[in-house]
Amino acid sequence: MKIGVFQDTVCPWCRVGKAHLFKALEQFQQEPVEVRYHAFLLDPTTPPEGRPMSSLVERLGGQARADEMHARVCQIGEACGVDFQFEKIDHIPNTMRSHELIKLAPLDRQEAVVQELHDAYFSRGEDIGDMEVLLEVARRVGLDTQVIQNGLLHEEKRAEVLEDLQFARDAGISGVPFFIFDGKYALSGAQPVEVFVQVLEQISSGNVLE
């Protein structure tokens, strides 16, 4: 089975959704599963240098509303074993290069790259739009940082990222996380683990309600 995961690297619900998916995969033994990550930009207007977190707080309706939303994410994250330290985040990066980094990694290392990007941003408050931060992410997961740096500087995977973004637009994907199973079954949002398990089992057995 192949699962395509559309996500943005600064999307907290994508971190939760990924955790739920992989917990479900631990319970699913019917067949091998290949997970591929696809790019989505929550805010395509983010400038290359990023934006201050205060701009998002304003968009959410003020600090009290932002704190309420963050508390909810933290509670759900804690339940599935992922960490959020929103108080450390003061910057919202442009995520284009982080998506390129994921695609520069071999398929068997992409999950580790996504995990490390999430840890860098959500747990440590690092700017994952910054070249040095991205190279440190690459180093942490055992990638050749010189190869990665050259790939990022020359935008070797930019076209693939843009293809993902176009596919998402054409498919009407307006929010993430968004999961596509075997190229034809879709699931939207950070669904509970049991929902992922049910979907995996239904698809594997052929008993899918269209």
* CB 185, CB 203: distance < 8 Å: yes
DSSP assignment letter at 181: E
Residue 60 pLDDT: 82
Distance CA 134, CA 78 (A): 26
- Output the pLDDT for position 151: 99
Is 208's pLDDT higher than 80?
A: no
Residue range 2-205 in CATH 3.30.420.40: no
What number is the average pLDDT over the span 86-104? 98
For residue 210, pLDDT over 80 is answered with no
The single residue listed with the structure tokens 């390129």 is 100
Using CA atoms, how far apart are residues 78 and 11, in angstroms rounded to an integer? Answer: 16
Q: Give the tens place of pLDDT for each residue, 52-73.
A: 998 888 888 899 999 999 999 9
Q: Distance between CA atoms of 48 and 39, rounded to whole angstroms?
A: 16
pTM value is 0.95
The reported pLDDT for the residue numbered 206 is 86
Q: Residue ranges of the domains in the chain? A: 2-205
Question: What letter does residue 62 receive in the DSSP assignment?
Answer: S
Which residue do the tokens 């707080």 mark? 57
Report pLDDT digits (tens) over 162-184: 999 999 999 999 999 999 999 99
The answer on pLDDT for 36 being more than 70 is yes
**pLDDT recorded at residue 58:** 85
Contacts of 138 (CB under 8 A, 6+ apart): 101, 105, 113, 144, 145, 148
Residue 178: per-residue pLDDT: 99
